[in-house]
Structures are given as structure tokens and as C-alpha cells.
Amino acid sequence: MCGIAGTYQQAEGKLITSVMVERLAHRGPDASSVLESVNPRASVVLGHLRLSIIDLSAAADGPFTKNGLTISYNGELYNYRELRAELQRTGVGFVTTSDTEVVLEAWRAWGPGCLERFRGMFAFAVHDIATDELALARDPLGIKPLYVMRRGAGIVFASELKAIVAAVGHELSIDPLALAASALYYWLPEQVCAVRGVSKHPAGTWTVYRPDGTSESGTYWDPAEVSARAARGEPRDLRRVVEESVEAHLVSDVPVASFLSGGLDSSLVTAIAHRHTPGIEAYSIAFRGEDQRLEAMPDDARYARVMAQHLGIRLHEIEIAPDVVDMLPRVVDVLDEPIGDPAAINTLLMCESARAAGVKVLLSGMGADELFGGYRKHLACLLALRYQRVPRPARRGVAGVVNRLPVVAGRRGLRTVRWAQRFLSFAELGEEEAFRRSYTMFAPDELAGLLDPSYGRQVDRLVEGHREIYTDNDLDGPTARMCLADSRLFLPGLNLAYTDRSSMAASCEVRVPFVDTQVFEAAFSLPEDDRIRGRTQKAALRDVARHWLPDEIIDRPKASFGVPLRAWVNNDLSGLVDDVLLGGELVASGVLQRQPLERLVADQRSGRRDFSKQVWQLLSLEVWYEQARAAGVRTA
């Protein structure tokens, strides 16, 4: 796993790339280099930072040049050995044992057609010295990031937005659509970038840039097409597919460890990995008791211990009790864009602990909830369809009672009340609208009232964009449609984004065996009720897990990978909310309206409503805005 950066057709390309490489130093502590190629037709500069995982020798460092091609590559190709053998049979010789060289030779042999053969996570740039064309490509599901800025007749690109900002931030401005998206979602969809002029190279696509200023793009993997094709076919053998994916993700020349929360997904990944690598170790988190009580959080650490004992593996427990006042600006910088999910802190601290112990690679159970219907919102939206059949007067009565209940009593959080209030916020809506409202921070009218009136059209664009993505499929059931939408929006926009940034900030690689094209196809080949069977979520995956896990783990209640957010917002961050959020630049400039924001904060502090997530997200957005301004980015 690495970091990449570069320029094409830029007069000061070497300077720009050098600045970007320096800003990305955390992504590749083992080696870094900048390679310039200048001729009358084109100027190409490629930068690379290496976290060495496969072939640890210096011969595999990037940018890697061989026989007229140069590649700067970030990723892991789990089937590189099979592809290497296939290429060797055609006469290709290899000088390293790296997957980097396999990607380069595969591109030479098959061009963009090689991308369909790859099983892994990647973002890379290839320069063809003969034609002076530069190609960019990104993995099918958007695991690895790639930001691209059109600049004059060429481009600037990097693994993280902050690198481009560090190099040319004075040329950029904050995108109002991104501010609205962050407030609505608490993260940014792949179609939205925090600054104007920069975009995220779409997952599952490639682009070739030419010296004459033209370019060509193509899509090699489309989730809507793949899901529809899988749904029309025969159900896949899910047990075999999941086991093969975990086994493939163990390919490494350094030790591999695992995240273990004690939940179904991480436990299943850890158990399968343990079968193939008996010495694997696991990392888990725990929270202070007082924080757990206020948040009404389950004790995940207990289940992680049960699972570790069941497997007979070593478990490293990390107590999460950070100084969040100091941690907040750091994690905002790490996350690159205005992402308001404090779970990133868990990932960052766990990866730092693992890295301090010499671990470079960790497995994660991320992606199973999105593909197999594991989130509470999935079940809640199905229950909402049934709730709508209840007579309207009864529904009004229920809403009147529930919305008057407090979310805290005697310093203890009332999780059932919080869930009931959240459910009622979307239970009367249609399918797509209810799904969107089930996981966004505000209803569109609420958000429009919180933001400057000029942002109303931005909110409308976001709502319409969600509708277009949600309805862009040929799937029959609501659960499948929700899962597909999550794989295109929630998974890459939030979970994969914060996992990549948080882990790479610690110079650590996280692999996600469920975020795999074969697992994706298997998930969408399932009948509708194999995702949610009655009230049992991820039913098919639970069936598979019984081959490896004890019932206590499989049948435990769903728990999120969260933090004691109410405790942090009400206690640790109270002064910061007053000084930085209510007294910040977004309020002063009018982007956030003071009175609605003050009411939201007052409701949170009184315990009348749980707005801790919204307060954290808006506070994160303010800190990001200030950091962007300090880096020279202009206001919206």
C-alpha cells in the first residue's frame, strides 16, 4: 500500500509533485521518489511513496520503470501470482516478485482490458514513454482513492486531496455543494469533491490522457449492471466465495493481523484467516465505563474476548479514551474532506497501536453490512412499509408520545427512545425518500433552514442525486436496492474513505475481504429474504458463519463501530462547541444560520433530543473549513 502523485503537461510539474509527495509522507514511510520525463510532446512527473508489503526489496520501489512503461501504483493485487504465471507463459520475464510489476506488464499486454482480470484494491498511473500517454485507473468498488485536477492542458493527481491543496491550494475554492453534502450526509458522495476543480476518479473506470490535449475514458465494472446480472443468475455458494476472498486477502510478505470487534463480520473474517494463518493476532477496542453508560453502548470488548478465546489467538485491547479536544483537528486533517464520523478515531488509534507493534496489514469486516443488509436502517425501512398500514390516527398518537420523551434519564442514555424518534422521522415516507432520511442528518427542509437560503438549490441537487442513484437499477426487492445504493454511496463515500485515510495516517494497510467483486456478485445473487429473514439481518451470512463461529457471536445484537459520542459532545467538547462551532467562520459568514444552530445545540444539551451526531458533524465541518482556508483555499 502506498501513495501516488503526479502531473501531466505541467511546466512546474516536478515542484508540484514534490510538494504533494512530501504532504503524503505518511502513506509510504519505506521509500519515496519523484521521476520526471520531459520531451517536446509532453511533460510527465510521477511521484511514489511506498509502504512495502509484497517484495520488500528496493527493486520493487516506485515509480517503477521497465521497457518503456513507468507506473506509480497504490494498492494490492491479490491474484498477482496467477496473472504473473499467465504472463510468463506468453514470454514475459520478470525482474521482481512484486504485484507492481504484474500490473505494469498486464497493462502492456492487455491495456484497459487487464482491469477486469484484477482482484484487489488499487489506484495507479501508467506513462507510456513511446506515446507519452498517461493512463489513470481505479479499482471497481472505490477502495483506494484518486483525486484529479484539470489544470490548463493537463492534470494534477494524488491519493489524497490535501496533497493537491498543499501544492496549488491558492487556485482552488470550497464547493458550496460539498458544504451542503457534508451537512446532509456527514460525508461526501463520490460524485462530490470538497473543492471546485478537483474530482474523484470514478471507481471501476480508466482514463487515458494524450499529448494533444484529448482524453479517452471507459468503464470496466458497473455495479448496477453487475448486480442485475447476478440477480438473474443462480445463487452463488456464499460460503466458498467468502472463504476464498479472505484467503486471497492474506497474500503478503509481512505479517497480517485482524480487527476483531466481536461482531459477526470481523469475527467471521478473523476465524477464516485463522484457519489459513494460525498465528494471526487481533486488535480490539474498549471504552470507559461512564462513557458506555451515557451512550447506552453494548460491551463489544466482552464478545471480542469470547471470540479470541474460541480461536485461541492473542487479542490486543486498546481503551479508547482520547483527548478529543486535541484529537478533533488532527482527525479532521487526516480525513482529508469534511467527514463527520468519529469512528475514524477508533481506526486511527487501533492502526497506530498495531503499527507500533510492527504490524503493517490488518483485515477488516467492513462491507458486509452494506452488501448483506446489516444496518438498522435496512430493517427499519422494511418495518416502515408495514407501519404505514397502521391506521393514521394510531400513528399520530404514537408519534405524539414518542417525540415528547427525553433521550436521557438519570445520566443514562435511552437508546430505545432515540431509535424510536429516528424511526418516526422517516416511517411515513416513500421507499427512496425513507431510505435517504434513515441515514442522513436532516430532512431537506430542516437542512435548508439551517443553511444560508442560497444553499436551497444545493440541497435540491443532493436530494435529486440520491434519487437518481437509488433508482438506477433493475433489481426487484427493496433490500437489494438499499444494499446497492449503499455500495455506491455510503460504502465508498464514508466507510472506505475514513478507513483508507485513518489507516494510512498510521502507515498501516487495512484490507476489506467483503469489498470484493466476487463477494459483491454472490451477495446480489441471493434471494431477497436471504438478506433480511423476518427480523434477522444478514441471514445468509449468519448461515455461513455457523461453520466457523459460536452461536453467542452469531446471535448477539447488532452493535455499531462507534464511540461514546453523547458523552464527548456533552462533556469533553462542550467548550469547543461554543467557541469553535457557534463562534466559528461558518456562522460568521452566514453559511450556518445562528438561531437554528443554537436551538439544535440547546436540545442536545437538555436531553430532549439526541443531536450529538449532528453537533459532531457540524463541528468537524467548521474545523475542516478553517483548515482549508488556512491552506489558501478560497471561500465558496
Q: What range does the domain containing 264 cover? A: 225-372+484-554
The lowest-confidence range among 46-60, 384-398, 580-594 is 384-398
Mean pLDDT of all residues in 335-351:
92
Q: Are residues 198 and 306 in the same domain?
A: no
Ramachandran quadrant class, 31 (left: phi over 0; alpha: psi -120 to 50; beta: rest)? beta
233: confidence class by pLDDT, cuts 50, 70, 90: very high
Q: Are residues 235 and 162 in the same domain?
A: no
Q: Are residues 171 and 239 in the same domain?
A: no
How high is the pLDDT of residue 413? Answer: 60
Mean pLDDT of all residues in 615-632:
96
403: confidence class by pLDDT, cuts 50, 70, 90: confident
Enumerate residues 6+ apart whose C-beta is below 8 A from 457.
none
Q: Are residues 60 and 117 in the same domain?
A: yes
How high is the pLDDT of residue 293? Answer: 52
Mean pLDDT of all residues in 245-258:
97
* Beta-carbon-side half-sphere exposure of residue 185 (alpha carbons within 13 Å): 29
Show which of 221, 246, 280 is a domain's final residue. Answer: 221
Mean pLDDT of all residues in 614-625:
96
> Annotated binding residues for L-glutamine, as ranges?
99
Distance between CA 316 and CA 266 in Å, rounded? 14
CATH code, domain carrying 172: 3.60.20.10
371: confidence class by pLDDT, cuts 50, 70, 90: very high
462 in a structural domain: no
Q: Are residues 236 and 194 in the same domain?
A: no
Query: Among 2, 114, 193, 483, which one carries the catalytic annotation?
Result: 2
How high is the pLDDT of residue 46? Answer: 98
How high is the pLDDT of residue 395? Answer: 83
Q: Please say whether the beta carbons of 447 and 189 come within 8 A.
A: no
Show which of 554, 576, 595 is a domain's final residue. Answer: 554
The string of pLDDT tens digits covering residues 162-220 is 999 999 999 999 999 999 999 999 999 999 999 999 999 999 999 999 999 999 999 99
Mean pLDDT of all residues in 260-271:
96
Mean pLDDT of all residues in 397-407:
78
Percent of the chain with pLDDT over 90: 81
464 in a structural domain: no
How high is the pLDDT of residue 582? Answer: 95
How high is the pLDDT of residue 146? Answer: 98
How high is the pLDDT of residue 393? Answer: 83
422 in a structural domain: no
| Cα–Cα nearest to 435, from 392, 405, 374, 478 | 478
How high is the pLDDT of residue 405? Answer: 78
The lowest-confidence range among 281-295, 325-339, 515-529, 596-610 is 281-295
209 in a structural domain: yes
28 in a structural domain: yes
- Decide if pLDDT at 587 tops 80: yes
Q: How many domains does the chain have?
A: 3
Distance between CA 36 and CA 18 in Å, rounded? 11
How high is the pLDDT of residue 577? Answer: 92
Q: Please say whether the beta carbons of 261 and 559 come within 8 A.
A: yes
∠ CA(338), CA(341), CA(347), 5° rounding?
110
The lowest-confidence range among 6-15, 359-368, 555-564 is 555-564
406: confidence class by pLDDT, cuts 50, 70, 90: confident
H or E element, residue 243: helix 238-248
- Decide if pLDDT at 607 tops 90: no
Q: Are residues 203 and 98 in the same domain?
A: yes
302: confidence class by pLDDT, cuts 50, 70, 90: confident
The string of pLDDT tens digits covering residues 312-330 is 999 998 877 778 888 999 9
Show which of 495, 523, 554 is a domain's final residue. Answer: 554
How high is the pLDDT of residue 40? Answer: 77
| Catalytic status, residue 381 | no
CATH code, domain carrying 254: 3.40.50.620
- Decide if pLDDT at 60 tops 90: yes
The DSSP code sequence of 349-380 is HHHHHHHHTT--EEE--TTHHHHHT-SHHHHH
239 in a structural domain: yes
250 in a structural domain: yes
> Annotated binding residues, as ranges?
99, 285, 364-365
How high is the pLDDT of residue 17? Answer: 98
Give the phi and the psi of residue 522 in degrees, each rounded to 5: -65, -40
Q: Are residues 211 and 290 in the same domain?
A: no
409: confidence class by pLDDT, cuts 50, 70, 90: low
> Annotated binding residues for ATP, as ranges?
285, 364-365
The string of pLDDT tens digits covering residues 495-513 is 999 999 999 999 999 999 9
Q: Are residues 239 and 299 in the same domain?
A: yes
Enumerate residues 6+ apart whose C-beta is below 8 A from 563.
287, 295, 320, 342, 343, 345, 346
98 in a structural domain: yes
Distance between CA 141 and CA 608 in Å, rounded? 40
Percent of the chain with pLDDT over 70: 95
Q: Are residues 37 and 144 in the same domain?
A: yes
290: confidence class by pLDDT, cuts 50, 70, 90: low
How high is the pLDDT of residue 291? Answer: 54
Measured CA to CA in angstroms, residue 534 lies from 239, 379, 520, 529, 547 at distances of: 22, 9, 23, 8, 22
Q: Are residues 322 and 253 in the same domain?
A: yes
The DSSP code sequence of 195-212 is EETEEEPPTTEEEEE-TT
Q: Are residues 104 and 206 in the same domain?
A: yes
The string of pLDDT tens digits covering residues 117-171 is 999 999 999 999 999 999 999 999 999 999 999 999 999 999 999 999 999 999 9
Q: What is the mean pLDDT of the chain?
A: 93
- Decide if pLDDT at 612 tops 80: yes
Q: Are residues 300 and 246 in the same domain?
A: yes
Mean pLDDT of all residues in 473-488:
96
First-to-last C-alpha distance (Å) of the chain: 34
Mean pLDDT of all residues in 24-50:
94
In the block, which residue shows the cell 416502515? 384
Angle between helix axes 264-276 and 300-311 (nearest 10 degrees) is 20
